Structure 1
C-alpha cells in the first residue's frame, strides 16, 4: 500500500509510516501543497497511492465521481498527535492493505473502522 498524506496531516506522519514499513510521502514532498483536492486525487490515482486525510471533501469528491480509485483513509479523531497516529497504524493498517488496494472509502473514528466500497453509486 502506497500512501499520500494530505496537507492537513502532520508531515512527520509520513516518517512514522516509513519507520513501520509503509511506502508514504506527504503532499509537500511532491509539490502538491496548496493544491485543490481534485488535483491531489488525480495525482494519487495516477501514482497508485491511497490518500490519508482529515478532510471530508475527499470522500465527497470520490462519492460524486463514481470512480473506484484512489482509496481514501479519513481520520475523524479530533486531535491526532504522533503517538496516537503510530498506535492506530500499528494496530490497524495491516488489515487495511487489501481494502485500500481494492478501492474503498475507509473511515477511522472513535467507534472503529468503517469501509465502504467504491464507487458508492453503481
Structure 2
C-alpha cells in the first residue's frame, strides 16, 4: 500500500504479474496477512510501509522480498523511475529473500535473514 495504481499499471505493462491490494479488495488485510499472501503467491511486496522489515526479522519462517520506499516524492513517476533503476542496475535475484530500501539518493539491499 502507499504505492499508486499507476505504478501497478506500469509493472503490468512491463510484463509483471502485479496486483494492488485495493484492486482485489484486500486493502483491509493486516501487514502479517499481506506478508503471508506474498509468500503463498511468491510475490514481492512493494510498499511505503516500513513495518515489513521488522515483521521479516521477527517472523523468520516467512521468506519474502520487499521493496520499501522511504522517499519524499511518492508520485508514480518517481516510484517508477526508482523501480526501473532497481530492475536495470541491481542484479538482485529476488528468489533470495531480501529487503530493498529505496531512499531519495540511495538504494540499500539486505539479504534475509539479517
After TM superposition, the score normalised by the length of structure 1 is: 0.82
- Post-superposition CA distance 1:23-75 (Å, at most 9, x none): 21111233211210000000000000000001111111011112351101101
- What secondary structure, in the 3-state scheme, does the structure 2 residue paired with 1:26 have? coil
Aligned position for 1:84: 78
Count, aligned residues = 114
Asked if the contact 1:104–1:117 (Cα under 8 Å) also holds between the matched residues in 2, the reply is yes
Q: Do residues 40 (structure 1) and 34 (structure 2) align?
A: yes
35-44 or 74-83, larger mean C-alpha shift: 74-83
Query: Which structure 1 segments of 5+ residues have no match?
Result: 1-6
Asked if the contact 1:20–1:90 (Cα under 8 Å) also holds between the matched residues in 2, the reply is no
More strand by share: 1
User: What RMSD over aligned residues (CA atoms) do the two structures have, in Å?
Assistant: 1.8
Question: Displaced runs of 4+ in structure 1, greater than 4 A?
Answer: none
Q: Distance in 2 between matches of 1:30 and 1:97?
A: 30
More helix by share: 1
Asked if the contact 1:68–1:104 (Cα under 8 Å) also holds between the matched residues in 2, the reply is no
Q: 1:96 to 1:68 in 2, by over 3 A?
A: farther
Query: Which structure 2 segments of 5+ residues have no match?
Result: none
Aligned position for 2:16: 22
Q: Do residues 71 (structure 1) and 65 (structure 2) align?
A: yes
